[in-house]
Structure 1
Amino acid sequence: MSTAPDPPHTAKMPAMIYGTAWKKDRTADLVYQAIQAGFRGIDTAHMKQHYDEAGTGAGIQRAIRDGLVTRQDLWIQTKYTPHDEPYASSPTTPTITSQVLASVAASLRNLFPDSPPDQEEPYLDALIMHSPFPHPHQTLEAYAALLPLVPHPLRALGMSNVTLPTLRLLSTSPHPPAVVQNRLRAAERAWDVDVRRWCRAGGLEIRLHLWLFVFVGNITNSS
């Protein structure tokens, strides 16, 4: 675990985060426009099939250069995707640990290319595991590989597409998940009521993927 002091600059997670999936070659411009419009949270992933992580970085860096924001104004999070998932960009390496470290390094390069020497070292406000591995021991190995990277270059860790048993498994970690990012669908997990209750009780931040056709009344009535 890192013995470095707590980092001085840690943004507060915004209530709304701009998602960058499926923007393709428009990613950089749309990220810039999102920041220009007032978004201060940006979500991406190291997953080329659905995200342009480098394009996200280009939009962020342009906004900083143009004086719209500073790095400290932004909450920037990306996701590590296990290489055995479809469309993952994570390299296939001999071990899960080396795969995780390679993915984090690539994300930092994509999001913060050519950082000026007079700026603080690049960091991510949150690194989220895109999904658990098929077996709990694999998930634990991947998560353990991230622990020495907290608080720098990773301020916080999180999980996506996760169930309550996996969250409980990771809750005893020295740096348990601080962020949960799940789809909100009735058909799959009954609006994830159990996960949401558990997160609320533990003070975790939870971010839900909401599609435009979701009826908000159903969400509020189910909690």
Structure 2
Amino acid sequence: MTLEADVYWSFRSPYSYLATRRYVALTQDYDLKINQRFVYPLAIRVPDFFEKSHPNWIGYTFRDIFRLAQFMDIPMAPPNPDPIVQDIATRKIAADQPHIFLLTRMGQAASRRGKGLEFADEVSRLIWGGVQGWNEGDHLEQAAARAGLDLAELKVEAESHAEELDDEIADNQKALEAAGHWGVPTLVFEGEPFFGQDRVELAVWRMQQKGLAKR
């Protein structure tokens, strides 16, 4: 019997990136379907979050993600450009955001096609894996192709159905909160949330109790 889980995920979340290839591996190793459910980052949902957070928050987060990447042997570099336009010194989020809305809407369009996880995996490898100018040239086009998708098709849908996709993204956030959490990455299985890249193995343990089988 194929089990199903939902993964709530954001393009701006380095921890989402660090977890994603393990989510992909789960679907390859086990009889498991993962429904990728994109949400907007905190910077969009709660614009003053960074201004109100502890002064050490950003510094510790960067230290943590880079040591985790080293520990797990996953390439990682500060995104260039950042999916969110933000003044790191003041933590102020810019009013104009040229990347995150299109990216997230395209991700949701990919999820409609049953390939949201693959799209998230390939695109996050560009953003967080050290590709400079990931939004330029054919980087995104090639990433979409590796995920079995057509970038031009996703972009047209993201631009022409923006409101509809945003409604779905908002519903994803509501579903995440209804499951008992608010952050990403969170895997939800049978209503139980497993928040963070360090809870993947715990989620597998729970799913095995419910019959998760190797392929």
Relative to its length, the structure with more helix (as a share) is 2
TM range (shorter): 0.3 to 0.5
TM, length-normalised to structure 2: 0.33
Query: Comparing both chains, which one has the higher relative contact order based on Cα–Cα distances under 8 Å and sequence gaps of 6 or more?
Result: 2
